[in-house]
Amino acid sequence: MNEKTGFTRRELFPAAAAFAFIPRRALGANDKLNIAAVGVGGMGQNYVEGCKSENIVAIADVDDAFAAPVRKKYPEAKAYRDFRVMLEKEKGIDAQSCSTDPAVTTEEWVKAGVVGPVREVHVWTDRPVWPQALARPSRRFKPPRTLDWDIWLGPAAVRPFHPVYHPFNFRGWYDFGTGALGDMACHTFHIIVKALELGAPASVNASATVTRVPLGKGEKPEPVWAFSRKGVYPETFPHSSVVTWDFPARGSLPAARMHWYDGGLRPPRPAGMDPDKDLGEEGVLFVGEKGTLWSGFSGGPKFLSAAQQKAITPPPKTLPRTAGHYLEWIEAAKGGKPATCNFSFGSRLTEIALLGVIAQRTGKYLEWDADQGRFTNNPDANELLNPPYRAGWKL
């Protein structure tokens, strides 16, 4: 129960999703949803734009300056800073947005066995595009007048405002974000999880870059390396990392291992890849018994050998196509068929991603019991599953 508003965890859960449907009235296909937006300064602008066919009735954002363009575009929408107050007062809200076709083709190719049984997948990104491996700044700044810093902090412990957190760069801090992996996993994993029908992993482990910094005045040298020390940043994610999940066999599908790379790291070049080709800053590799298939995060499968690509006969289209995730969500909220990437599927992606985040933070090999919702071999990792919330924000 939230101490300030009286909402239960179930009622507040939609705030953690890109889109949430709050069933308050019966809706028909021709009715318009009453949509409230939470956080419209970044990706939230795109979410609202994607739902402009409906009624935008309320907008909550802690920073008036960042919210100004969207509020100007929807002058009839009531403005709030605190989304909890908005949810308490706006009883007519049907749905809430909160700042999350080629893909189907990739899924079809993998399921059709174009590369044979897949036991290994690699996925990499150009993130982070914000600072990580940082020490907490000691300098204090006064928050901008347009920003409600206390609400921005949310459930995190109180700390002074600093521009290293807001705007945008909060992603690299444990208290506010989930690093490159948490930022991009649900964008990148959906093709993999659907194509390979992945459930929860059995285990996860991670390794990360280690930085060394010059010794400061008065600092004692380490026993071996006398002129530098290991950089220790207990509040932020590393510059770069590799995370590996192991998934058990699923019916006739073999056990699979998925590798994640960020911070400029990439998988090794596959054997047989044309020398003039490059893996690119981001992508996915499905490694099968018959070859390796490259895909973008939104699909577009292809072989990395021109000869293989020329020889392939694309499998038939067997999966339904989509009109777009905004339209799918609106249709589902009005009682239509469930969206392709619905909350059940999204929660699976989120679980996989956050287990990897905990592996990054602990640097340990972790065994996961999905039924019990806990790690079986590391009590410290279990403590990170439910971090403490400050008063007024508990669920």
- Region 328-343: mean pLDDT is 86
Q: Which residue has the higher pLDDT, 173 or 12?
A: 173
* CA 51-57-60 angle, 5° bins: 90
Task: Look at residue 30 and tell me whether its pLDDT is greater than 70.
Answer: no
Task: Look at residue 366 and tell me whether its pLDDT is greater than 70.
Answer: yes
Q: What is the pTM of this model?
A: 0.89
- Region 233-247: mean pLDDT is 97
Q: Which residue has the higher pLDDT, 95 or 59?
A: 59
Pairing of strands 203-208, 241-247: antiparallel
Q: Which residue has the higher pLDDT, 15 or 254?
A: 254
Reading the block at residue 24, the tokens are 């308050």
Q: In one letter, which amino acid is 375?
A: F
Predicted confidence at residue 7, as pLDDT, reads 33
Instruction: Kindly state the percentage of the chain with pLDDT values over 90.
Output: 70
* Cα(137)–Cα(315) distance, integer angstroms: 55
Predicted confidence at residue 349, as pLDDT, reads 95
What is the average pLDDT score of the chain?
89
Residue 188 burial by CB count (10 A; 0-12/13-18/19+): exposed, middle or buried? buried
DSSP classification of residue 25: S
Q: What is the pLDDT of residues 109-131, one digit of tens each?
A: 999 999 999 999 999 999 999 99
Question: Which domains occur in the chain, in start order?
Answer: 1-100 (3.40.50.720), 102-311 (3.30.360)
* Cα(258)–Cα(205) distance, integer angstroms: 11
Reading the block at residue 108, the tokens are 């079809």
Predicted confidence at residue 101, as pLDDT, reads 60
Q: Which of 296, 325, 174 is nearest to 236 (CA)?
A: 174
* Cα(272)–Cα(291) distance, integer angstroms: 9
Q: What is the pLDDT of residues 289-305, one digit of tens each?
A: 999 999 999 888 999 99
- Region 78-99: mean pLDDT is 86
Q: What is the pLDDT of residues 341-351, one digit of tens each?
A: 888 999 999 99
Predicted confidence at residue 22, as pLDDT, reads 52
pLDDT-based confidence at residue 31 (cuts at 50, 70, 90):
confident
Q: Are the C-beta atoms of residues 174 and 235 closer than 8 Å to each other? A: yes
Cβ contacts of 33 within 8 Å, gap of 6 or more: 27, 51, 54, 55, 94, 95, 330, 333, 334
* Cα(235)–Cα(213) distance, integer angstroms: 17
Reading the block at residue 21, the tokens are 């449907």
Q: Which residue has the higher pLDDT, 333 or 185?
A: 185
Task: Look at residue 172 and tell me whether its pLDDT is greater than 90.
Answer: yes
Neighbours of 71 (CB within 10 A): 17
